[in-house]
């Protein structure tokens, strides 16, 4: 009977494709929007993930993320270095600045000052140039998203910038995860950054810490907090802080949530309507089957198999659509590093299951309510 059910469904091409479209559209909308949402809020952690070798981030107790930081006095560095279990500790500055290009354009940039001696604080990979280009005078390294924004059709190497009224020369391109706002990022040495960024009494944004072998990051962070009064977060904790900050302080979750909900509702509407039409058009046939001697249990299995087929094809197309979307925009800096976390297709699958269960149940009710005797009327 399953075969007959499938043929009944696929034989009505218009409704079959309507159902598949409904599920595919819902899956695409839910999966794609959730994917963008997750990747976007993970950008809140990009500042942390770009510094791969710091086990612990130390900051003023009021600092919340890499972009919302209150500067500490430079003595904080020595305090941290004095804590047992600290292998190394280096200064790290993050500040906003304005840059004027040779064509006169003005662009807001983030200036990140990395440790002069070790260059800890730079992204791991360089696309052009080497980290030691920062040894040259007025050197800065630009991130690849910044390159795309400021120098879309040319190499930025050798370009001169007016950074907060001072000379800066781009000598390298770093492969960095873009920030949440996709701001252009310029990396330079800590000492150079202090010159670029307007001075206040305290300038040190963070102290980046490496833990001694055998000391866990959790334990070290606790120790630093206890002994210095500063806020110390492990790499993962601080990354999560960045994500949480975006969730708590922007309307993004709400807006994406609405879109995902719309995907769900549109799915229910399209699939529910089409499924009901399909059942209504075939109600005589279902009635005849019931009269002939097909049990309600078999009818349920028939409708379930129709829903399963629609679900499988529609869900598959929706997921493929999402993957193609992500793949198609992979070259766009806005979508750099985007991926589909495995949990999202699972969420979409649950949504599709709910849509089909609900609409299938509604459609099935009509079939089950149909009296076999109605075929004689």
Partner 1 sequence: MVRKLDTTAIGGCNPEAAICARGVTRDFTAGQQTITVLHGIDVDIRAGELTYLVGESGSGKTTLISIMCGILWPTEGEVKVFGTDIYALGDTELVEFRLQNIGFIFQQYNLIPSIDAASNAAVPLIAQGMDRHEARERAVAMLEKLNIGNQAHKLPSQLSGGQQQRVAIARALVHEPRLVVCDEPTAALDAASGRRVMDLLREVAVAEDRACIIVTHDNRIFDLADRILVLEDGRITHDGSEMPEGH
Residue ranges that bind partner 1, judged by CB under 8 A: 1, 3-4, 7-8, 10-12, 282, 284-285, 287-295, 297-298, 371-373, 375-377
β-bridge mates for residue 114, sequence order:
189
Helix, strand, coil percentages for the chain (3-state, nearest 5): 55, 20, 25
Q: Which of 222, 301 has the CB closer to partner 1?
A: 301
Residue 316 CB, nearest approach to partner 1 (Å): 22
Contacts of 41 (CB under 8 A, 6+ apart): 180, 243, 246, 247, 252, 253
Give 266 or 375: the residue with its C-beta nearer to partner 1. Answer: 375
Closer residue to partner 1, CB minimum distance, 255 or 366: 366
In the complex, minimum distance from the CB of residue 10 to partner 1, in angstroms, rounded to a whole number: 7
Would residue 331 be called left, alpha or beta, if left means φ above 0 and alpha means ψ between -120 and 50 degrees? alpha
Residue with tokens 């005849």: 288
Buried b (16+ CB within 10 A) or exposed e, 247-262: eeeeebeeebeebbee
Q: Do residues 337 and 363 make contact, with C-beta atoms less than 8 angstroms apart? A: no
CB of 4 to partner 1, least distance (A): 6
Cα separation, 375 vs 220, whole angstroms: 78
Residue among 101 and 305 whose Cβ is closer to partner 1:
305
Please report how many Cα atoms fall inside a 13 Å half-sphere around the Cα of residue 323, on the Cβ side: 9
Closest separation in Å from C-beta 283 to partner 1: 10
**CB 299, CB 371: distance < 8 Å:** no
- Spatial separation of the C-alpha atoms in residues 275 and 245, rounded to whole Å: 43
Query: The tokens 């004689």 sit on which residue?
Result: 376
CB of 270 to partner 1, least distance (A): 21
Q: Between 12 and 162, whose beta carbon lies closer to partner 1?
A: 12
| Minimum distance of partner 1 from residue 291's CB (angstroms) | 5
The answer to whether 117 touches 190, Cβ cutoff 8 Å, is no
Kindly tell me which of 257 and 372 has the beta carbon lying closer to partner 1.
372
Q: Which is nearer to partner 1, 51 or 302 (CB)?
A: 302
Q: How far is the CB of 364 from partner 1 (least distance, A)?
A: 17
Determine the Cα–Cα distance for residues 42 and 240; give it in Å rounded to an integer.
8
* CA separation for the pair 264, 271 (Å, rounded): 10
- Least separation in angstroms between CB 369 and partner 1: 14
CB of residue 368 to partner 1, shortest distance in Å:
12
> Six-digit token pair at 208?
């980046």
| Nearer to partner 1 (CB atom), residue 337 or residue 372 | 372
Helix (H, G, I), strand (E, B), or coil: what is residue 205? coil
CB closer to partner 1, 273 vs 375 = 375
């Amino acid at each position: 009977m399953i075969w007959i059910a499938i043929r009944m469904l696929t034989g009505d091409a218009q409704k079959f494709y309507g159902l598949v479209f409904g599920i595919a559209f819902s899956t695409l909308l839910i999966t794609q929007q959730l994917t963008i949402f997750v990747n976007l809020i993970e950008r809140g952690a990009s500042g942390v993930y770009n510094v791969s070798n710091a086990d612990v981030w130390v900051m003023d107790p009021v600092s919340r993320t890499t972009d919302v930081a209150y500067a500490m006095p430079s003595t904080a560095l020595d305090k941290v270095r004095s804590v047992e279990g600290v292998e190394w500790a280096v200064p790290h500055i993050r500040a906003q600045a304005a840059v004027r290009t040779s064509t006169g354009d003005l662009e807001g940039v983030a200036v990140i000052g990395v440790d002069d001696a070790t260059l800890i604080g730079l992204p791991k990979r360089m696309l052009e140039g080497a980290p030691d280009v920062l040894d040259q005078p007025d050197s800065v390294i630009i991130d690849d998203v910044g390159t795309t924004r400021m120098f879309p059709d040319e190499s930025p190497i050798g370009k001169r910038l007016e950074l907060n009224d001072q000379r800066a020369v781009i000598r390298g391109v770093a492969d960095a995860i873009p920030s949440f706002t996709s701001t252009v990022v310029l990396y330079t040495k800590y000492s150079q950054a202090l010159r670029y960024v307007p001075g206040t009494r305290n300038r040190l944004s963070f102290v980046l810490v490496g833990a001694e072998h055998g000391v866990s990051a959790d334990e070290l962070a606790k120790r630093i907090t206890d002994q210095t009064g500063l806020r110390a977060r492990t790499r993962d904790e601080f990354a999560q802080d960045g994500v949480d900050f975006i969730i708590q302080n922007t309307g993004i979750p709400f807006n994406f949530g609405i879109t995902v909900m719309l995907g769900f509702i549109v799915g229910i509407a399209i699939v529910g309507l089409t499924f009901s039409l399909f059942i209504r058009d075939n109600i005589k046939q279902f009635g005849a089957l019931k009269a002939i001697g097909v049990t309600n249990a078999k009818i349920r299995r028939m409708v379930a198999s129709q829903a399963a087929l629609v679900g499988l094809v529609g869900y598959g197309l929706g997921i493929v659509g999402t993957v193609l979307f992500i793949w198609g925009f992979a070259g766009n800096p806005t979508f750099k590093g985007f991926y589909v976390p495995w949990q999202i297709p699972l969420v979409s699958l649950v949504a599709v299951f709910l849509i089909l269960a609900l609409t299938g149940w509604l459609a099935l009710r009509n079939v089950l309510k149909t009296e076999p005797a109605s075929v004689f009327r």
